[in-house]
């Protein structure tokens, strides 16, 4: 065998084994440790490939090769799995045990599945890899059908989809395709070499054919990019739909659970740092709890399709009328490593945010949750623009009582809630006329002496706990209880309410730098008012939350001197507290800022688009213009010009201008294309003129232009309208350089060409 | 590009179809790997067709065949000169020369990386054992791509003809003395006993060559007298080959026609070398290339061989005798015939009368038609003119006949002819002894 064919055999064997091995890398997406099976499989692949190459070089047939490969590969696999190369007797038992354990693991665990160890799934993967290696080697190299060998490869690549729903990463696909195309290319090269004697300067070793890399590379590029670009063929960078639910919902975790631990028990660790021009940053919100069910406040479902990500402009504030004055501040946040949160802290109202990673927001809550499994807010830097609404109590009092623009779930309460809570809420707010006043009444009631802030209580936020918390003697709790109680009571009063969890107030560490730590974790209620959106309130007693929002103070809500009806009538009522202490700092000066609506008509973009369109139109029309002008110039010119025009017309119409012929012979070739006798006669006249001009002793220039137009017209009439249109708008003569009329080489040579450029 | 798409191979079409199916399934099922694979399978044939369709190559081929006329069994050499006058083709070009089956295996060549201006000479040998006229070429070129998805065909135009003349056998010189007695003034003389000194003259007729004017006699007689070249007509020979379909048996190269052709060719070459002016006549009349021309022996032999190279059977039933003309009177006629029926007797008699010396080789067509085993089993019969009906017929008319069988050699038959005396006219069913023959 020649060296070339030896090389081809070796390369084909290696390519087929390599293709399978690279394809099995994609299996790593559903196991914990891909290395656990990839390295043993590589060993098996090398053995199978070497065996195949050796047998083929010895000249054995496909069946014998397959048998030997099966024997050797099987022995090695069984040695790797069970420890015994011979799968009979004790070896078989150990092999079988390992495989059974693997099968059980695969059915029991959800991906990612453990790979190694006693119950690892590696044996199954090794066996599967061995089968695929043998199949591909047999089909591609033994039976010489490399194209069909793509089917086992496709099967290998499709396994991850069936198990986890993941696609295959692009580089695994690209390398597998490259190996597959190499197999096909090698096969074709071998076929070509068998065809006959090589006349060219052949080298000893096979070289990749020209254009193979180009075609293969572009095809792979298209294969990887087109499904991403074309909707519907979405490779889906992230599939949020797996598991329960669909439509992009995520089941979220409850930040309240960890908050208690961090706040109450843990040390005060700094968690994140903020740089902002806001002079009093407060209430950095982590997440919103929207649902009170099953005994706890939960974050509820989120609708986060993949176009709602934290990169760029945010939708307008929920429920906030555009006439509300507002002020924007830039925030640059940097989180520390310890902040293992799946929520990204932001201010409650933001207008834009730039954060790396797949952070999705829900339109109704506007909090940010991680869109990927292992995405955490630890050690991140991101920035956002917060919107400070300038709310005044007068406006809020005048807010419409009809609740529009918010979901019903914010008013839902569990059925097992104590009815006394509703009565209590009615009692507390009996002097208030509007919803806002009722909310403020509740806030003031919670902040009065009736309640004490205590982090040592053993209460949670279930219905029973709330009832217990509201008992006159038991009124001790921390922010969780206050926030949840106020939210529950607000819902009883038909005010949409929800609880937000976040940071209360940071510590100043620099000129414009603030640091939030774990002891700043806080919970507060947000209530919805039509036209003003979600408004925060602060029911936690002053020992914890020293200030309240400015719009909740500075006005009276009727007389608050009446005794209350408590849940336990035995206990005496307490005097209502005085109006809220003016502990808040002076309200910020209201800066009347013009509403920032859209940026105005985007002149730049429109002009740029128009210019581009004009450019495109101009370039499309250019060939036609050039051709027309040429024709006009030539038909009025000399004989040679007319002849050149005739040639260009023929080339444009795709009729084929014979090269290297005399004018008379050329005319003879053109005659079939001329339908009428007059045009043929005109052509003859032109030929005579051309000959006279070129070859006669005394060249004269006659009136040729008269005959040229009929010939041109006749030629054009003789072709289809489509060809005419194409000749008009895309004239070939403008684009192709006219090659020299004489052809190179021996004129007696019989020529065959590719036919390109000539019909 | 359109042509390249039409040239998609089976693999190319399968890829495209599989790709489209995969893409559709992937869209329906949402499988991302399948969609990638589908796009790849669709893109590969299309991209390949585009690349191949844009290839601009221009191959030139010059074929030289030497020698252009060969005898059967002799090799001839074809020299090809391939040039590339265009750009490098993007794939492999596979060239194959179209040859008739009888000339051997088709030579194949592969061109892959040939740049502009590349040139190469290559030659191959062809040999035919069968006579005839063959066209060598045209050469076909197949352009393919690295993955075997597209194939485009092109064919060169020119072909080169090869003429394979029948094999000839050297025949021994014969003593054909004791010629048949003719009648009339124009007594034929045996060519072996004539001499150049004898000059007889006749009147000048229009058309005679002026060089043959004998001035002395003309001066004496007062009119132009032309030297009668006795050797002229005496040295004319006619080889008659009966190529009627009904006269022969067998098929292909083992048919009796082939043996007849070999015999006729051998006789023609032999006579030409002996100085005769030979012409070839077949059952359809005089062969256009085989008529008498005054030329030297080799040239006339070559012309006769070329005429014999392309002789085929004709479906006529009767022998054409229009070629019997004034000029052929008295010359030597050698007839190579197959089966003769009673309706051929008048024609043969006319030919015999015309000829000065009439020899005939009669092929026993039945022997060719018979089974080989049966033919081998039959004991070789002693040659005798009364063996076949055709031979008997000819012998009755006065021909000198020798019978030819599949296993006879032409020189044996010729020797037999020479050994036979024309007088040996045997009645039908006569004694089949050879003691009446004039010597061996």
Contact indicator for A25, A172 with CB cutoff of 8 Å: yes
Percent of chain A whose predicted confidence (pLDDT) is above 90: 11
Nearest residue on chain A to B32, alpha-carbon basis: A235
Percent of chain B whose predicted confidence (pLDDT) is above 90: 19
Report the candidate in A521, A451, A465, A517 with the shortest Cα–Cα distance to residue A297.
Answer: A465
Lowest mean pLDDT among A671-680, B97-106, B369-378: B369-378
Residue A401 has pLDDT above 80, yes or no: no
Residue A467 has pLDDT above 90, yes or no: no
Tell me the shortest Cα–Cα distance from A756 to chain B, in angstroms.
Answer: 6
Residue A735 has pLDDT above 70, yes or no: yes
Tell me the shortest Cα–Cα distance from B54 to chain A, in angstroms.
Answer: 7
Q: Does B23 touch chain A (CB under 8 A)?
A: yes
Q: Does B109 touch chain A (CB under 8 A)?
A: yes
Cβ distance A750 to B155 less than 8 Å, yes or no, reads no
Residue B225 has pLDDT above 90, yes or no: no
Mean pLDDT of chain B: 79
Cβ distance B148 to A199 less than 8 Å, yes or no, reads no
Q: Does B83 touch chain A (CB under 8 A)?
A: yes
Task: Give pairs for B154-160: CB < 8 Å, separation 24+.
Answer: B154/A752, B154/A753, B154/A754, B154/A755, B155/A752, B156/A750, B156/A751, B156/A752, B156/B59, B156/B61, B157/A750, B157/A752, B158/A750, B158/B61, B158/B63, B159/B135, B160/B63, B160/B64, B160/B65, B160/B68, B160/B78, B160/B135, B160/B136
Residue with tokens 């591609």: A140
Q: Specify the 3-state DSSP secondary structure of A704.
A: coil
Give the model confidence (pLDDT) of B40-60 as tens digits.
999 999 999 988 888 777 888
Residues of B in contact with A201 (CB under 8 A): 113
pLDDT at A209: 67
Q: Does B152 touch chain A (CB under 8 A)?
A: yes
Nearest residue on chain B to A200, alpha-carbon basis: B111
Residue A581 has pLDDT above 60, yes or no: no
Which of the two residues, B214 and B63, has the higher pLDDT score?
B63
pLDDT at B180: 34
Percent of chain B whose predicted confidence (pLDDT) is above 70: 80
Cβ distance B15 to A752 less than 8 Å, yes or no, reads no
Nearest residue on chain B to A194, alpha-carbon basis: B110
Nearest residue on chain B to A180, alpha-carbon basis: B147
Mean pLDDT of chain A: 80
Which of the two residues, B377 and A564, has the higher pLDDT score?
B377
Cβ distance A199 to B94 less than 8 Å, yes or no, reads no
Tell me the shortest Cα–Cα distance from B123 to chain A, in angstroms.
Answer: 11
Cβ distance B146 to A173 less than 8 Å, yes or no, reads no
CA distance A126 to A123: 5
Cβ distance A185 to B109 less than 8 Å, yes or no, reads no
Lowest mean pLDDT among A531-545, A567-581, B301-315, B375-389: A567-581
Which of the two residues, A406 and A295, has the higher pLDDT score?
A406
User: Which are the contacts of A536, defined by CB distance < 8 A and separation ≥ 6?
Assistant: A283, A348, A500, A524, A525, A526, A549
pLDDT at A558: 65
Report the candidate in A137, A130, A114 with the shortest Cα–Cα distance to residue A40.
Answer: A130
Mean pLDDT of A647-661: 80
Residue A571 to residues A65, A427, A565, A567, B428, Cα–Cα distance (Å): 94, 16, 10, 9, 162
Mean pLDDT of A704-732: 84
Contact indicator for A380, A335 with CB cutoff of 8 Å: yes
Q: Does B24 touch chain A (CB under 8 A)?
A: no
Residues of B in contact with A147 (CB under 8 A): 11, 14-15
pLDDT at A241: 38
Report the candidate in B391, B377, B374 with the shortest Cα–Cα distance to residue B432.
Answer: B391
pLDDT at A746: 42
Residue B416 has pLDDT above 90, yes or no: no
Mean pLDDT of A345-371: 87
Cβ distance A197 to B57 less than 8 Å, yes or no, reads no
CA distance A628 to A630: 5
Q: Please confirm whether the linkage preceding A112 is cis (ω < 30° from 0).
A: yes
CA distance A537 to A436: 11
Which of the two residues, A344 and B87, has the higher pLDDT score?
A344
Mean pLDDT of B147-158: 89
Q: Specify the 3-state DSSP secondary structure of B413.
A: helix
Residue A368 has pLDDT above 80, yes or no: yes
pLDDT at A133: 93
Report the candidate in B93, B6, B12 with the shortest Cα–Cα distance to residue B56.
Answer: B93
pLDDT at B374: 59
Interface of B with A in 60-79 (CB under 8 A): 60-63
pLDDT at A19: 93
Q: For this complex, say whether ipTM is above 0.90.
A: no
pLDDT at B14: 94
Lowest mean pLDDT among A110-119, A334-343, B98-107: A110-119
Tell me the shortest Cα–Cα distance from B91 to chain A, in angstroms.
Answer: 6
Tell me the shortest Cα–Cα distance from A223 to chain B, in angstroms.
Answer: 5
Tell me the shortest Cα–Cα distance from B56 to chain A, in angstroms.
Answer: 6
Q: Does B57 touch chain A (CB under 8 A)?
A: yes
Q: Does B156 touch chain A (CB under 8 A)?
A: yes
CA distance A710 to B235: 70
CA distance B396 to B394: 5
Residue A518 to residues A260, A289, A505, Cα–Cα distance (Å): 10, 19, 11
Q: Does B110 touch chain A (CB under 8 A)?
A: yes
Tell me the shortest Cα–Cα distance from A290 to chain B, in angstroms.
Answer: 34
Give the model confidence (pLDDT) of A17-33 as tens digits.
999 999 999 888 888 87
Angle between helices A3-25 and A170-195 (to 10 degrees): 160
Residues of A in contact with B57 (CB under 8 A): 753-754
Residue B82 has pLDDT above 70, yes or no: yes
pLDDT at B297: 67
Mean pLDDT of A720-738: 81
pTM: 0.53
CA distance A166 to A146: 27
Would you give the distance in Å from CA A466 to the centre of its chain? 43
Residues of A in contact with B120 (CB under 8 A): 199-200
pLDDT at A69: 93
B378 token code pair: 């039959």
CB nearest A227 (choices: B39, B60, B117)? B39
Q: How confident is the model at residue B261 (pLDDT cuts 50, 70, 90)?
A: very high
Nearest residue on chain A to B108, alpha-carbon basis: A196
Residue with tokens 């500075």: A554
B323 token code pair: 């070629």
Nearest residue on chain A to B157, alpha-carbon basis: A750
Helices (H) and strands (E) in chain B, counts: 12, 18
Cβ distance A745 to B147 less than 8 Å, yes or no, reads no
Task: Please spell the DSSP secondary structure of A538-553, one letter per residue.
Answer: --S-TTT-----GGGS
Mean pLDDT of B337-362: 87
Q: Specify the 3-state DSSP secondary structure of A136.
A: helix
pLDDT at A580: 39
Give the model confidence (pLDDT) of B16-32 as tens digits.
999 999 988 888 877 78
> B200-221: string of b/e by CB count within 10 Å (b at 16+)?
ebeebeeeeeeeeebeebbeee
Tell me the shortest Cα–Cα distance from B295 to chain A, in angstroms.
Answer: 33
A474 token code pair: 């038991």
Which of the two residues, A717 and B116, has the higher pLDDT score?
A717
Nearest residue on chain A to B55, alpha-carbon basis: A754
pLDDT at B185: 37
Mean pLDDT of B333-349: 89
């Amino acid at each position: 065998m020649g060296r070339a064919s030896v090389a081809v055999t070796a390369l084909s064997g290696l390519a087929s084994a390599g293709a399978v091995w690279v394809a099995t890398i994609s299996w790593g997406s559903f196991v914990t440790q891909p290395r656990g099976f990839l390295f043993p499989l590589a060993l098996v692949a090398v053995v199978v490939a070497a065996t195949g190459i050796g047998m083929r070089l010895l000249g054995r047939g496909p069946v014998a090769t397959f048998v030997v490969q099966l024997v050797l590969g099987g022995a090695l696999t069984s040695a790797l799995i069970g420890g015994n190369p011979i799968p009979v007797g004790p070896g078989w038992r150990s092999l079988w045990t390992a495989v059974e354990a693997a099968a059980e693991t695969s059915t029991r665990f959800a991906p990612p599945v453990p790979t190694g160890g006693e119950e690892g799934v590696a044996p199954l993967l090794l066996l599967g890899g061995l089968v695929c290696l043998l199949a591909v080697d047999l089909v591609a190299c033994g039976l010489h059908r490399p194209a069909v060998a793509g089917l086992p490869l496709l099967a290998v690549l499709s396994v991850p989809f069936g198990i986890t729903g993941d696609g295959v990463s692009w580089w695994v696909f690209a390398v597998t395709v490259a190996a597959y195309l190499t197999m096909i290319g090698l096969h074709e090269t071998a076929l070509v070499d068998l065809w006959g004697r090589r006349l060219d300067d052949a080298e000893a070793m096979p070289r990749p054919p020209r254009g193979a890399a180009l075609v293969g590379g572009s095809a792979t590029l298209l294969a990887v990019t087109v499904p991403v670009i074309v909707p519907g063929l979405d490779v889906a960078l992230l599939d949020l739909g797996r598991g329960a639910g669909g439509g992009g919902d995520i089941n979220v975790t409850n930040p309240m659970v960890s908050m208690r631990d961090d706040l109450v028990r843990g040390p005060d660790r700094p968690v994140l740092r903020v740089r902002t021009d806001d002079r009093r940053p407060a209430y950095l919100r982590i997440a919103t709890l929207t649902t009170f069910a099953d005994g706890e406040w939960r974050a509820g479902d989120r609708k986060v399709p993949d176009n709602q990500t934290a990169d760029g402009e945010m939708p307008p504030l929920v429920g906030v009328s555009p006439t509300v004055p507002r002020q924007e501040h830039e925030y640059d946040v940097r989180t520390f490593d310890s902040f293992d949160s799946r929520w990204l802290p932001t201010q409650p109202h933001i207008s834009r945010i730039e954060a790396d990673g797949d952070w999705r927001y829900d339109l109704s809550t506007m909090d940010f949750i991680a869109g990927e499994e292992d995405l955490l807010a630890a050690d991140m830097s991101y920035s956002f623009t917060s919107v400070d609404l300038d709310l005044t109590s007068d406006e809020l009092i005048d807010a419409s009582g009809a609740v529009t623009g918010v979901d019903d779930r914010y008013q839902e309460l569990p059925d097992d809630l104590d009815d006394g809570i509703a009565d209590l809420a009615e009692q507390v707010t009996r002097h208030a006329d509007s919803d806002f006043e009722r909310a403020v009444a509740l806030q003031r009631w919670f902040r009065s002496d009736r309640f004490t802030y205590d982090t040592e209580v053993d209460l949670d936020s279930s219905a029973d706990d709330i009832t217990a918390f509201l008992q006159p003697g038991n009124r001790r709790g921390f922010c969780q209880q206050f926030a949840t109680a106020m939210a529950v009571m607000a819902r009883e009063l038909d005010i949409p309410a929800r609880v937000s969890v976040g940071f209360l107030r940071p510590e100043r560490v620099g000129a414009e730098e603030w640091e939030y730590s774990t002891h700043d974790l806080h919970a507060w209620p947000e209530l919805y008012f039509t036209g003003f959106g979600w408004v925060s309130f602060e029911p936690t007693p002053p020992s914890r939350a020293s200030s309240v929002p400015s719009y909740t103070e500075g006005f009276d809500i009727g007389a608050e001197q009446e005794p209350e009806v408590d849940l336990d009538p035995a206990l005496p009522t307490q005097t209502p507290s005085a109006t809220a202490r003016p502990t808040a700092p002076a309200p910020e000066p209201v800066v009347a800022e013009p509403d920032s609506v859209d940026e105005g008509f985007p002149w730049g973009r429109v002009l740029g688009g128009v210019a581009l369109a004009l450019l495109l139109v101009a370039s499309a029309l250019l060939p036609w213009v050039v051709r027309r002008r040429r024709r006009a110039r030539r038909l009025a010119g000399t004989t040679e010009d007319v002849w050149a025009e005739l040639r260009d017309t023929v080339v444009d119409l795709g009729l084929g201008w014979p090269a290297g012929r005399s004018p008379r012979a050329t005319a003879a070739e053109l005659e079939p294309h001329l339908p009428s006798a007059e045009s043929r006669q005109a052509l003859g006249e032109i030929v005579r003129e051309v000959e006279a001009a070129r070859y006669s002793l005394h060249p004269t220039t006659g009136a040729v232009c008269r005959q040229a137009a009929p010939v041109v017209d006749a030629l054009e009439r003789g072709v289809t309208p489509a060809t005419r249109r194409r000749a008009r708008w895309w004239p070939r003569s403008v684009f192709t350089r006219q090659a020299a009329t004489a052809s190179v080489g021996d004129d007696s040579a019989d020529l065959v060409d590719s036919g390109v450029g000539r019909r | 590009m359109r042509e390249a798409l039409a040239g998609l191979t089976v693999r190319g079409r399968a890829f495209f179809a599989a790709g489209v199916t995969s893409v559709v399934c992937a869209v329906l099922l949402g499988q991302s790997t399948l969609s990638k694979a589908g796009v790849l399978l669709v893109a590969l044939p299309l991209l390949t067709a585009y690349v191949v369709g844009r290839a601009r190559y221009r191959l030139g081929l010059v074929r030289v065949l030497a020698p252009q006329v060969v005898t059967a069994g002799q090799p001839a050499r074809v020299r090809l000169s391939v040039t590339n006058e265009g750009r490098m083709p993007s794939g492999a070009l596979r060239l194959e020369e179209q040859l008739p089956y009888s000339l051997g295996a088709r030579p194949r060549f592969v061109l892959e990386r040939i740049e502009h201006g590349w040139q190469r000479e290559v030659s191959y040998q062809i040999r035919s054992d069968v006579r005839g006229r063959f066209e060598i070429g045209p050469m076909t070129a197949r352009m393919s791509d690295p993955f075997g998805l597209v194939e485009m065909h092109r064919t060169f135009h020119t072909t080169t003809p090869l003429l394979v003349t029948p094999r000839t056998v050297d025949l021994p010189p014969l003593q054909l003395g004791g010629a048949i007695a003719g009648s009339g003034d124009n007594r034929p003389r045996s060519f072996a006993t004539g001499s150049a000194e004898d000059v007889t003259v006749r009147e000048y007729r229009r058309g005679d060559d002026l060089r043959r004017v004998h001035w002395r006699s003309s001066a004496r007689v007062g009119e132009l007298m032309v030297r009668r070249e006795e050797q002229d007509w005496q040295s004319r020979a006619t080889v008659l080959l009966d190529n009627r379909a009904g006269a022969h048996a067998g098929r292909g190269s083992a048919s009796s026609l082939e043996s007849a052709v070999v015999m006729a060719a051998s006789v023609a070459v032999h006579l030409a070398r002996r100085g005769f002016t030979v012409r070839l006549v077949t059952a359809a009349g005089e062969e256009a290339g085989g008529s008498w021309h005054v030329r030297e022996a080799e040239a006339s032999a070559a012309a006769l061989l070329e005429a014999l190279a392309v002789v085929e059977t004709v479906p006529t039933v009767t022998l054409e005798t229009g070629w019997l003309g004034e000029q052929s009177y008295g010359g030597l006629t050698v007839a190579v015939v197959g089966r003769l029926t009673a309706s051929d007797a008048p024609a043969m008699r006319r030919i015999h009368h015309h000829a000065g010396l009439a020899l005939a080789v009669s092929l026993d067509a039945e022997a060719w038609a018979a089974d080989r085993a049966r033919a081998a089993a039959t004991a070789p019969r002693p040659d005798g003119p009364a063996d076949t009906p055709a031979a008997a017929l000819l012998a009755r008319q006065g021909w000198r006949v020798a019978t030819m069988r599949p296993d006879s050699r032409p020189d044996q038959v010729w020797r037999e002819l020479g050994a036979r005396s024309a007088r040996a006219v045997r009645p039908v069913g006569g004694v089949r002894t050879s003691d009446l023959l004039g010597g061996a």
